[in-house]
Amino acid sequence: MKDATPKEQIMSKIRNALIEKTENPYQDNEIMLDVIKVSDPDEEPEVLFAQELIAVGGNFIYCENEHSFLDNLGELMQDRGWKSIWCQNDRITQLLRTAELPHFKEVENSEDALVGITGCEKLISRTGSILVSDAEISSRSAFSYPDIHLVVAYNSQVTATIKSALASIKLKYNGTLPTQLTFVTGPSRTADIEKTLVKGAHGPKELYVFLIDDF
């Protein structure tokens, strides 16, 4: 591992995080505590985000570049049997066209699960959250309506905290925050009814994040 490049070291750590997923030993505990975890200052933010995303039920796919992203997406579509993807983002649509991956812009009624793909503003490494805005995504339905939500992000979008994310967004939009900001943390879930955990109650049942290396 000493001769590995920094990129190879990051990818190795992320693979280990995916393999060594730890189940919550206190699933029957009804008391919910707000705990702020102190992150390892020497750990790469990409690795921290991957670990936290997996911990809240999300799926993480690290991509060396955009070509790798398209290859990974194509394989995932084939493995899961997804015929096409709903996309409203022009930049991502262009990538899908390049790889000739089936996609559509207008939603039609179908018995198949709706798979939607979007970009995002920031990834929060401390919580494994995804920050989206109405400036980046045309409407809230783009990330709340699909049964399965795919997110495309880049290394440069990873930041440590919500505070740093908001500061960066304010700078990006010349001192004014977008009218709508939403933090997505894992698949949609609720335990309001008889304390039974239900996924997809208010949004996607599954969440995938493709993190593309742009450093």
- Residue 198: its pLDDT value, please? 44
Q: Confirm if 69 and 35 have CB atoms less than 8 A apart.
A: no
- Residue 107: its pLDDT value, please? 85
H or E element at residue 153: strand 148-154
Digits of tens for pLDDT over the chain (215 positions)?
556 655 566 666 666 655 554 454 434 444 333 444 545 556 789 999 999 999 999 999 999 999 999 999 999 999 999 999 999 999 999 999 999 999 999 887 777 889 999 999 999 999 999 999 988 776 677 778 899 999 999 999 999 999 999 999 999 999 888 888 999 998 865 544 444 444 445 568 999 999 999 87
* Residue 79 CA: distances (Å) to CA of 7, 72, 75: 27, 10, 6
User: Which residues lie below 8 Å from residue 173, measured CB to CB, with a gap of 6+?
Assistant: 135
CA dist 150 and 211 (Å) reads 11
Domain extent listing, the chain: 6-22+39-104+113-212
Q: Does domain 6-22+39-104+113-212 have CATH number 3.40.50.10420?
A: yes
